[in-house]
């Protein structure tokens, strides 16, 4: 079992070496008065915990370039910057998520680059500059499946080494995995996390064949 880490105040959680905040934390409540994410980016989702656990087992290179797509509050970005000194770009379509991400990056003393963009519009040349592209719970609508397939294909074609996506196990996510198997190496595994609480879902690792 993991070592018990005492948190400094209520509504703070500790997971895989980073501090996270619940929706009830005083700083988050204050931010919510001015910023209301509208595409489900209103908290850190459990799939982010799966990804942190996975990336604790399958290490990233130190100081590597990582892009998180559909970052929401950016828990994975913060984790990668904290644990692996990764140079991270966190991308989300909804500008309202970034103030929350900034608070998480400040309390964890890391710097995260960010970009407000639709991931379907990211060009292959830019995607290819990142060794690892990660995302959690970003394939939740039918309309997101094909754009995600196209993004992963473009990224791998242009030099990205791996795409890792965590998901609670939605049909749209499995459809994405199925479509990727046509031309790529796809390794789908059930996964669970134990911090900040137990969570179960899926992780897919996609590479060139």
Stretch touching ligand SAM by CB under 6 A, among 15-23, 82-90, 134-142, 157-165: 134-142
Question: How far apart (Å, rounded) are the C-alpha atoms in residues 19 and 103?
Answer: 10
Check residue 13 for interaction with ligand SAM (CB under 6 A): no
Assigned token pair, 136: 């959690």
Among 120, 131, 150, 158, binds ligand SAM (CB under 6 A): 120
Check residue 118 for interaction with ligand SAM (CB under 6 A): yes
Task: Give yes or no for a contact between 113 and 89, defined as CB atoms under 8 angstroms apart.
Answer: yes
Q: Which residues pair with 193 in a beta bridge?
A: 199
Question: How far apart (Å, rounded) are the C-alpha atoms in residues 148 and 170?
Answer: 14
* Nearer CB in complex with ligand SAM: 137/195: 137
Nearest C-alpha neighbor of 129 from the set 156, 159, 108, 86: 159
Stretch touching ligand SAM by CB under 6 A, among 28-36, 80-88, 116-124, 185-193: 116-124
* Nearer CB in complex with ligand SAM: 114/185: 114
Residue pointed to by tokens 């795409």:
163
User: Of residues 56-85, which lie at the interface with ligand SAM (CB under 6 A)?
Assistant: 69-73, 75
Residue pointed to by tokens 């656990």:
53
Check residue 41 for interaction with ligand SAM (CB under 6 A): yes
Question: How far apart (Å, rounded) are the C-alpha atoms in residues 34 and 44?
Answer: 18
Helix, strand or coil for residue 53? helix
Check residue 105 for interaction with ligand SAM (CB under 6 A): no
> What residues line the site for ligand SAM (CB under 6 A)?
39-41, 44-45, 47-48, 69-73, 75, 91-94, 97, 118-120, 136-138, 140
């Amino acid at each position: 079992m993991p070592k018990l880490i005492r948190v400094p105040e209520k509504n703070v959680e500790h997971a895989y070496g980073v501090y996270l905040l619940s929706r009830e934390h005083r700083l988050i409540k204050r931010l919510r008065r001015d910023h209301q994410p509208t595409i489900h980016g209103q908290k850190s989702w459990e799939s982010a915990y799966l990804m942190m656990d996975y990336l604790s087992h399958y290490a990233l290179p130190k100081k590597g370039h990582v892009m998180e797509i559909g970052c929401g509050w950016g828990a994975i970005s913060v984790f990668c910057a904290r644990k692996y000194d990764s140079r991270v770009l966190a991308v989300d379509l909804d500008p309202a998520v970034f103030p929350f991400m900034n608070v998480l990056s400040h309390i964890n003393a890391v710097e995260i680059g960010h970009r407000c963009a639709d991931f379907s519009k990211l060009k292959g040349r830019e995607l290819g500059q990142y060794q690892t592209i990660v995302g959690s719970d970003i394939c939740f609508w039918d309309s997101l499946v094909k754009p995600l397939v196209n993004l992963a294909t473009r990224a791998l074609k242009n030099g990205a080494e791996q795409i890792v996506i965590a998901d609670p196990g939605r049909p749209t996510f499995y459809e994405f995995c199925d479509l990727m198997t046509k031309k790529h190496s796809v390794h789908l595994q059930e996964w669970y996390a134990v911090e900040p609480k137990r969570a179960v879902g899926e992780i897919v690792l996609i590479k060139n064949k």
